[in-house]
Amino acid sequence: MATSKITYNGGLRTTSVHLQSGTEIITDAPVDNKGKGEAFSPTDLLATSLGNCMLTIIGIAAGEHGFNIDGTTCEITKIMAKEGPRRVAEIVVDFHFPANDYSDKVKAIIERSAHTCPVAYSIHPDIKKTVTFNY
């Protein structure tokens, strides 16, 4: 079964529907690429997916190992290549964990989990991934 259905709406905007849930995501081309920038761009979603996946995998590990990450935030910065074809050159992921006095063992689980998420493994190795963990 298909995962999603995408419709081009015109004006460099698309609507994606997650077929299992019916949830919709709208994308616009960014302002620096002839778009309105009124929604996530496709490359914004690529970068944001890395943070979403990392947090999800850390959440799974938290449940398995008995620690809590509720309230954790993650800021994503997408950096486009300055030369060559238009592409994402780097994704900066900046985690901010609540004050839970995590042990060194828990921090190691968190960091290993983040770096082994499926999206991290799926992003081309030429895209630099810079990840910081603020506890």
Per-residue pLDDT of 64-74, as tens digits, reads 999 999 999 99
CA atoms of 24 and 90, how far apart (whole Å): 27
Q: Write the pLDDT tens digit of every residue in 73-124.
A: 999 999 999 999 999 999 999 999 999 999 999 999 999 999 999 999 999 9
- The predicted-structure confidence for 49-63, as pLDDT tens digits, reads as follows 999 999 999 999 999
Give long-range contacts, CB 8 A cutoff, 24+ apart: 110-116.
Answer: 110/58, 110/61, 110/62, 110/69, 113/54, 113/57, 113/58, 113/60, 113/61, 114/54, 114/57, 114/58, 115/54, 116/57
pLDDT of residue 44: 97
